[in-house]
Structure 1
Amino acid sequence: MSKLTLDRAKEILAKHTTEEHLFHHAAAVSAAMGAMAEAFGEDKDYWAAIGWLHDVDYEKFPDEHCHHVRELLSPEGVDEEDIKAIITHGYEITTDEAEPTSNLEKSLFAVDELTGIIQAYALMRPEKMEGMAVKSLKKKYKDKRFAAKCNREIIDKGVEKLGMELSEVMNYCIKGMTEHSDEIGL
């Protein structure tokens, strides 16, 4: 099996997802993962592909999210290692199958919810992603009523697993999402 590419991930997700907001979320997480890959000196396209596919089973199985990843991706020839990486973002949230251990898995766990807060903040700003500062994002992050559905506990746990500061991870996510703002709808 060959390494998962972003083009292949887009092709696969399109078979299982129809809702525009889920494509915007896929693009946001993909962009954030690409930036995190650069931070770790890893393969940007590959990490972005994992980010793009992370919610592959969400639209069809919202109440069993992460439990149907394998059945959707195995027939597509996606590596078991990639499938496991995707499943880990639901660790202790929707599944206990696999704990995030690699930098890729820990990054996915950390940025998934964080991108939601960044998207919500960008939608409030006339300039959207352009010129977004970590300091002002952190203010919004501390306000629990803002983007209340985005679980800060999960983000904090993910950032801690990475051994990084929240502001560092926010900075990478803003960078990645700004570079791909059109695709994210911002």
Structure 2
Amino acid sequence: MAGLTMERAKELLHSTTTEAHLFEHAIGVSAAMGAMARHFGEDEAYWQAVGYLHDYDYEQYPEEHLKHTEEPLRAAGVEEESIRAILAHGYGLCSEVEPQTPMEKSLFTVDELTGLIGATARMRPGGLSDLEASSVKKKFKDKKFAAKIDRAVIKQGCEMLGMELGDVIELCIQGMREQMDALGLGPKEG
């Protein structure tokens, strides 16, 4: 059975979401998921589509995130593997679905991490174009920087993946760099 496509993920997200920052987040997570898929030798387009759709119900139900995802997506014909990955990204926060597969663990990890990378890139004249993993790791240690980002979730995700934080950051930067213009994180015009 064919997995979720980006075209379908966009249709579904547009049916529930209007806020520009949520679409930006969807693009960032999608791009990072593509890089993670390449790393694991998996289907890049499929992982990107799942990443794009992961916050399907967030705008409508921010206090009940992921409680209004499973049934509507199933009714829309989204296959179980995609639904499970989307539910697992909220593990321990707003979902009981524990990440098991590399895709589920990756989505759990990059959801928060892309926010930290984006915030770090915004502080730099070159944006994502010349961002190094070491700069993001410095900001990771600075709890006051992008304080809303849950670093414990990122650490937990890296442990689940059996990967070093720096390696995951590097992959996410590579993926997000491919979408830096769509993310508004390209070099600033001097």
Supply the AA of the counterpart residue of 2:44.
K
Tell me the distance in 1 between the aligned counterparts of 2:37 and 2:47. 6
**Paired positions, count:** 185
Shift of 1:72: 2.4
1:127 aligned to 2:151? Answer: no
Supply the AA of the counterpart residue of 2:91.
Y
Shift of 1:158: 0.3
Shift of 1:149: 0.3
Larger proportion of helix:
1
Question: Are the equivalent residues in 2 in contact too, given 1:91–1:100 (CA < 8 A)?
Answer: yes
**Identity between Structure 1 and Structure 2 (%):** 56
The two structures, once aligned, show a CA RMSD in angstroms of 0.9
Equivalence for 1:79: 79
Equivalence for 1:116: 115
Shift of 1:127: 1.2
Q: Tell me the SS of whatever aligns to 1:182.
A: coil
TM-score, length basis structure 1: 0.97
Q: Tell me the SS of whatever aligns to 2:147.
A: coil
User: Structure 1, unaligned stretches of length 5 or more?
Assistant: none
Tell me the distance in 2 between the aligned counterparts of 1:149 and 1:72. 29
Moved over 3 A (4+): none
Tell me the distance in 2 between the aligned counterparts of 1:169 and 1:47. 16
TM-score, length basis structure 2: 0.95
Deviations 1:58-98 (A, max 9, x none): 000100101111122122110122111100001111121x1
Shift of 1:7: 1.6
Supply the AA of the counterpart residue of 1:102.
T
Tell me the distance in 2 between the aligned counterparts of 1:18 and 1:45. 23
